[in-house]
A and B are shown apart, each in its own frame.
Chain A
Amino acid sequence: MMLNLINKIIIKKLLMFSVIVMTGCATTQQNERVARIDPFEPMNRVVFSFNEAADDYVIKPIAQAYKFVLPEFARTGVTNFFSNINDVLIAANNLLQGKPMEAANDIGRFLVNSTIGVLGLFDVATDIGLDKNREDFGQTLGVWGFSDGPYVVLPFFGASNVRDTVGFVVDVETDFMINTNKLNSDEKIAVNALRVINRRADLLDAGQLLEDAAFDKYSFVRDGYLQRRRNQVYDGNPPPVKEED
């Protein structure tokens, strides 16, 4: 009770602080909607800039070199390999969301791709009609009725919200490549570095498009992320949002 009260006071102070910082910031339009979805905007923008710099100076150059050196079919194989292992977690999340048929689909994918698809290097399952699902624990929490909470930009990992951050922690805790005891810690670092760089390489072409399309990259990314997550929680069929025409 007491703790609760203190918590509330701290949160209120934090909120007031961010409101003050924001009203002091002439370049930031502070309308009601933004105040609601992104109360930590000043802090988020700092982390966002940090992530951009880390990407520009470290991650992106490595991804570019990786893409230059490795032919496309090899990179596709790497993508498929990690995607295949993740299908097990996707199945688990579908079960937790009460979708056993989808979970069966995901397990079917894993079995087909791990065998016929040579340890997951080839995505044969998609070709025979077992479509890839996208699920994670953040979505599962959403299906269970947890609201997404304020928008948060995580260091290195980027756009998120309070609910998805909790989900992300659970995803990491249950991730095979991070938690397996079949690899020693050096091997784990190598494998997961490959995973990150390969993923970044997949997205290189989209980077410039984002730069060109956004008037303000920070809020463009934020609004895209929040919409996309809501869409995922509802598996592509979210109830329509009221138009503010």
Chain B
Amino acid sequence: MHPILNKTFAAIALSLITATASFAQAPQAAANAGANANMSTPDGLVKFVVEDVMNTIKSDKAIQSGDLRKVNALVDQKILPYSDFQKTTRLSMGRNWSKATPAQQALITQEFKTLLIRIYGGALAQVKDQKIQYKPFRASADDTDVIVRTVVVGKGEPIQLDYRLEKTGNAWRVYDINILGAWLVESYRNQFNDQVSKGGIDGLIQFLQQRNNSLANAK
């Protein structure tokens, strides 16, 4: 295994902290915290979500010890409302997305979300004294697709962690994250395509369900 690559995945673990499952099936309760004026800008939104998640973890012993139920609740309440996880899944699926029925699409989105939360949820326990540096954000007023760049600074090497957001209506939603240079969507594109070409859409769904089951049993 190439060290650089391994590093990427080491970093994924740490980064989960903030981004992890920065994804949602659909934006539901977004308005709740909308009182904060900053959230109308992409960089303001990322900053709000990241700080909120980190503060919650630091004050919750159960999450620090890796309580999966608590982790799920955190993701559902604090991250999903500001993410467009269906778009994440759709882009990861590429051309195969249109081969799936709407019901299959919903199922794939759900299973993919479960998988990512399972993989990265444990890493939330790693949040201790990391600090987030926000890089200068530049975008023109009429941009609807932007990248917010951050760096996670803690023990060891700093970790590049970027968020890609799209504006739908008046709200910004995260739909892709970049950890140490690798975008989630691009990393998964071939993974999805491979499964579909082996067993079709049904084969992919089966594969995701099996993977989630075996991960659930292993814990």
Contact = CB atoms under 8 A, between A and B. Distances in A.
Interface of A: 26-29, 31, 33-34, 51-52, 55, 131-132, 157-160, 199, 202-203, 205-207, 209-210, 212-216, 219-221, 223-225, 227-232, 236, 241, 243-245
A203 B3 contact: yes
B7 interface: yes
A207 B149 CA distance: 26
17 contacts: A29-B190, A132-B158, A159-B4, A160-B2, A206-B12, A209-B10, A209-B12, A212-B211, A213-B9, A214-B191, A220-B191, A223-B182, A223-B187, A227-B182, A228-B182, A231-B180, A231-B182
Given A228-B180, A236-B181, 8 more contacts: A33-B190, A199-B3, A205-B13, A214-B191, A216-B194, A219-B191, A231-B178, A245-B91
B215 interface: yes
Given A131-B158, A132-B158, A216-B191, A241 B186 contact: yes
A14 B194 CA distance: 24
Nearest to A138: B4
B12 A29 contact: no
B143 interface: no
**Which size bracket describes the interface of B in this complex?**
35 or more
B104 interface: no
B8 interface: yes
Given A206-B9, A212-B118, A29 B191 contact: no
Interface string B175-216: 000101111001101111111111000000001000100010
Contact of A212 (B3, B8, B158, B215): B215
B160 interface: yes
Contacts of B178: 231
A224 B193 contact: no
Main secondary structure of the interface of A (DSSP, over half): helix
A224 B191 contact: no
Nearest to A215: B191
B119 interface: yes
A131 B135 CA distance: 15
**Among A34, A199, A219, A228: residue with most chain B CB under 10 A:** A228
Interface of B: 1-13, 90-91, 94-95, 115, 118-120, 123, 149, 157-158, 160, 178, 180-183, 186-187, 189-198, 207, 211, 215
Contacts of B90: 245
Contacts of B2: 157-160, 221, 225
Contacts of A31: 193
Contact of B197 (A29, A207, A227, A241): A29
A205 B198 CA distance: 31
Nearest to B181: A231
B119 A212 contact: yes
Contacts of A209: 9-10, 12-13, 119-120, 123
